[in-house]
Amino acid sequence: MCTRFLLLVGSIIGLSCNPNPENTTTPIKEEIPSNIAHDTSLSISPQQVYQPDKNKLYIYLTFDDGPQHGTEAVFNLCKTEGIKASFFMVGLHTKLRSDGMALVDTVRSAYPQFLLANHSFTHANGKYKKFYTQPDSAYKDFMLAQTCLKVPYSIIRLPGNNGWVLSDTQHLSTLVRAIGKKLDSAGYNIIGWDMEWHFDKHSAKPVQSAQTIITKANELFQENKTFHANHLVILMHDRMFRDSADLLKLKEMITGLRANPSVVFETVDHYPGLKWLNNR
Ligand SMILES: [Zn+2]
């Protein structure tokens, strides 16, 4: 969720929505599997409440902190596998890579297979307490990301905090209560997570094995320990899978999860109880 270099870069680069003028990288060519690209039922229209199938188990693969090393690899793997995924991206990270904004554009334009969502502009510069105790500036930070990244829908994940705000549900720690309520009043949904595939703080490599994650996911479903029954949000980070050997672990996890015929991979805009998505 946070990196030390973020803090450094955040202090070096001002809060500006000015994309890198040298960025002339062509976005990755879209080749969404035909079964997804032509299935319009997978995209829900404005003001429509998505009705999940009660006989299914929904898994939301969410990847945080992009665009960064690993984003393109994760995107391409999910595209090849034909499954949906959501990317919570950080505005500041578009400035760290020459192809940063192109990666954001690629994810945004790949809906409904992929969803671009808001993970703030600065990622709090790694100083979460300071960030969340200044809700007015934190709010501006999220709005800046919304504008810079051209985030299509009103869906946010708080940096470094597992908070939730849906239409009739709130789960906010004391630290993030003020910003959560502010975003709620502005019509935003906040999506947390049920389980995390952790990464090593130094190498950014996955800590648990793919099988451990599969087993944990199945346990949460069976024991009804997800935030919403039959809906499981898994938090991961793009950078965990920048190496091909680690990307194979992600593929192994996907293969293991989809072995259950009841499992459906969805994007978080289909999560139960979302407010009307203003920017849809
Ligand atoms: Zn994060």
Q: Of 248, 143, 129, whose CA–CA distance to 187 is shortest? A: 143
As residues whose CB is below 5 A from the ion ligand 1, the structure lists: 1, 64-65, 159
Q: How far is the CA of 236 from the centre of ligand 1 (A)?
A: 9
- Give kind and range of the element (H or E) at residue 251: helix 244-258
The pLDDT value recorded for residue 51 is: 83
Q: How far is the CA of 116 from the centre of ligand 1 (A)?
A: 14
The pLDDT value recorded for residue 50 is: 73
- Give kind and range of the element (H or E) at residue 4: helix 4-12
Q: How far is the CA of 162 from the centre of ligand 1 (A)?
A: 10
Q: How far is the CA of 160 from the centre of ligand 1 (A)?
A: 6
- For the CA atoms of 141, 198, 93, 42, the dihedral, rounded to the nearest 10 degrees, stands at -80
Q: How far is the CA of 226 from the centre of ligand 1 (A)?
A: 21
Low-confidence ranges of the chain (pLDDT < 50): 1-14, 19-47, 278-280
Q: How far is the CA of 142 from the centre of ligand 1 (A)?
A: 13
Spell out where the chain has E strands.
57-66, 85-89, 114-118, 155-156, 164-165, 170-171, 189-190, 195-196, 231-237, 263-265
Pinpoint the alpha helices (H) of 82-224: 100-108, 128-132, 135-148, 177-185, 210-222
Right CATH for 53-270 from 3.40.50.300, 3.40.50.10800, 3.20.20.370, 3.90.110.10: 3.20.20.370
Going from N- to C-terminal start, the domains of the chain cover 53-270
Q: How far is the CA of 112 from the centre of ligand 1 (A)?
A: 23
d(CA 244, CA 80): 15
The pLDDT value recorded for residue 16 is: 61
pTM for the model: 0.85
Q: How many CA atoms lie within 13 A of 2 on its CB side?
A: 15
CB atoms < 10 A from the CB of 49, how many? 11
Q: How far is the CA of 2 from the centre of ligand 1 (A)?
A: 5
Peptide bond just before 112 cis, omega within 30 deg: yes
